[in-house]
């Protein structure tokens, strides 16, 4: 699926609205001056507002589908149309604002 690549500094939220950030950005490929993100690195979720009694709050997240044709050091880059899952809630991450110059498949 084509889409805009996700960089460090993009606005990405968990399903409950808490911000998510890459733990290991990829400085070898930059997007608008910011490091890109690869499929291999986990993401951290800070301050998830989910009530623990109803659904566990999001703590970390992983991406399972990234770019198919574009890689960095053999790892797919993250794309806005990619598939992710937050742990332990199981909800996806939602890329809200990304850079708008580079798209990939």
Provide the sign of the torsion angle of the four alpha carbons 47, 50, 52, 57, taken in this order: negative
Structure tokens at 49: 């507002």
Per-residue pLDDT of the chain (105 residues; tens, 9 = 90+): 789 999 999 999 999 999 999 999 999 999 999 999 999 999 999 999 987 767 889 999 999 999 999 999 999 999 999 999 999 999 999 999 999 999 999
Name the CA dihedral angle for 33, 39, 41, 44, rounded to a multiple of 10 degrees.
Answer: 90
Assign domain 3-104 one CATH number from 3.30.70, 2.40.50, 2.60.200, 2.60.40.
2.60.200
């Amino acid at each position: 699926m084509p889409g805009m690549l996700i960089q460090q500094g993009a606005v990405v939220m968990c399903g409950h609205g808490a911000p998510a950030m890459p733990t290991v950005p990829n400085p070898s490929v930059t997007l608008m001056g910011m490091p890109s993100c690869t499929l291999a690195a986990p993401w951290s979720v800070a301050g998830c507002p989910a009530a623990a009694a109803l659904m566990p709050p999001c703590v970390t997240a992983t991406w399972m589908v990234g770019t198919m044709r574009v890689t960095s050091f053999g790892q797919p880059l993250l794309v806005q149309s990619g598939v992710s899952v937050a742990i332990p809630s199981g909800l996806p991450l939602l890329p809200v604002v990304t850079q708008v110059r580079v798209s990939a498949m």
